Amino acid sequence: MAKHKAATEITIAQEEQSAFAAAVFKYKWPGLSVLAVCAAAVLYVQSSSQAATESKRAEWGALYEAQTADDNLAALEQFTAQNSNGNVAAWAYVNQALLRLDDGDYDEAMAALESARAIAPAVLASLQFPIGAEDSGQSLVAHLAASVEQQAAWTKDHPFILENPPLPEGSPRVELMTDLGPIVIGLNAELAPKHVANFTKLVKEGYYDGTRFHRIQPGGFIQGGDPNSRDEDASTWGLGGPTTTIAPEDTGLIHAEGVLAAAKKGGAVKSSGSQFYITASRQHQFDGNYVVYGQVLEGLEFVQEASNAEIREDKAETPVEPVTIISAKML
């Protein structure tokens, strides 16, 4: 028989490890665990930072939407009620102050600036700009507050620049009973006798009963007095009224909030024989071109509500559900 060789024994000699290699081997898994924790921490910080950025971006977007809303003052007040701290809220208060200033509501404007000052970043309340007297240093909030104080003082010294003088004692009054509520209007017969005489004549005849405020501008004014508005066919609204017109009267009255004024056709000199409008806010662009002859004494909130009604898509400035004058009577 053939003889087989004995199996050869192979011995693998182990190399001696260096101290570094031994340390790596010993601490490999704990080290990898630490690295994993660090990586997770970095990813969390980045994720949190991105989330914070998205949150701030959403806040600024919400502020923009509030500022551009139809009733932007109410929208801004709602925004600050929900977001009372931080840079975005500070700017929202500044925007409120500017709107209040434009409305002549100086106390509320100053209160809004104080709110902005309390939470404002340095750029609003501390950082000085050369915008003070003789280019002296002044913060933006301080500059706006000084402007509010100056305009309030000027308005106090000139009471009838932005408002009309009080109606003469004993002026005639008219109640327009609408489906929203009563609107009481005082008429200035001393300054606009022709317009007042025509209006009161039509009221006594029941001319306005059942007519609608057929035209509106959001937050601006409501227009009525067209007998065509009794019909359901909105295409004829605004075209009706008596053929007679009224000669212009230079009353010197301005389009302050809640005034009664005579409508007229575009380019016409004389006023419409029956159509009129009531302002829901200041409309000084009409000053000198239309005759103001009355002032709302009660029910301005109904005028403002009617002015903000939904607009039809098929006819501009026409409300979907126009407010109706149920009856008009002298008081």
pLDDT in tens, 224-283: 999 999 999 889 999 999 989 999 999 999 999 999 999 998 888 999 999 999 999 999
Judged by average pLDDT, the poorest of 63-77, 229-243, 269-283, 292-306 is 63-77
| Higher per-residue confidence, 41 vs 251 | 251
- Shared-domain flag, residues 79 and 186: no
- pLDDT score recorded for residue 47: 55
CA 169 to the chain's CA centroid: 36
CATH of the domain at 140: 1.25.40
CA 317 to the chain's CA centroid: 19
The answer to whether the beta carbons of residues 52 and 46 sit under 8 Å apart is no
Q: Does 99 fall in a domain?
A: yes
Last residue of a domain, one of 157, 184, 204: 157
- pLDDT score recorded for residue 122: 74
DSSP secondary structure letter of residue 320: S
- Shared-domain flag, residues 194 and 295: yes
The answer to whether the beta carbons of residues 237 and 229 sit under 8 Å apart is yes
Is the sign of the CA dihedral 45, 59, 77, 90 positive or negative? positive
Percent of the chain with pLDDT strictly greater than 70: 82
Evaluate if residue 172 carries a pLDDT over 80: yes
- Shared-domain flag, residues 215 and 129: no
Q: Does 64 fall in a domain?
A: yes
Judged by average pLDDT, the poorest of 91-100, 271-280, 297-306 is 91-100
- pLDDT score recorded for residue 55: 72
- For residue 210, give both structure tokens: 């059942």
- Shared-domain flag, residues 242 and 128: no
CA dist 136 and 223 (Å) reads 49
- Shared-domain flag, residues 236 and 317: yes
Q: Does 320 fall in a domain?
A: yes
Q: Does 311 fall in a domain?
A: yes
- Shared-domain flag, residues 109 and 189: no
End-to-end Cα spacing for the chain: 143
Tally the domains of the chain. Answer: 2
Burial of 21 (0-12, 13-18, 19+ CB in 10 A): exposed
Q: C-alpha angle 241/242/243, rounded to 5°?
A: 120
- Shared-domain flag, residues 207 and 149: no
Give the CA distances from residue 201 to residues 4, 78, 229, 301, in Å, rounded to whole numbers and listed in that order: 140, 45, 20, 26
CA dist 214 and 211 (Å) reads 8
- pLDDT score recorded for residue 52: 63
Is the sign of the CA dihedral 179, 184, 190, 191 positive or negative? negative
- Shared-domain flag, residues 153 and 179: no
| Higher per-residue confidence, 74 vs 136 | 74
CATH of the domain at 195: 2.40.100.10
- pLDDT score recorded for residue 101: 85
Evaluate if residue 174 carries a pLDDT over 90: yes
Q: Does 308 fall in a domain?
A: yes
Average pLDDT of every residue of the chain: 83
Evaluate if residue 18 carries a pLDDT over 60: no
| Higher per-residue confidence, 157 vs 23 | 157
- Shared-domain flag, residues 210 and 287: yes
- pLDDT score recorded for residue 136: 73
- Shared-domain flag, residues 226 and 85: no
- pLDDT score recorded for residue 90: 85
Last residue of a domain, one of 132, 157, 182: 157
**Block residue for tokens 């898509």:** 313
Percent of the chain with pLDDT strictly greater than 90: 48
CA 9 to the chain's CA centroid: 94
Q: Does 31 fall in a domain?
A: no
Which pairs from 170-173 meet CB under 8 Å and 24+ separation?
A: 172/196, 172/200, 172/330, 173/297, 173/330, 173/331
Length of the chain: 331
The answer to whether the beta carbons of residues 259 and 187 sit under 8 Å apart is no
Q: Does 14 fall in a domain?
A: no
Q: Which domain range does residue 79 map to?
A: 51-157
- Shared-domain flag, residues 99 and 192: no
Q: Does 288 fall in a domain?
A: yes
- Shared-domain flag, residues 178 and 152: no
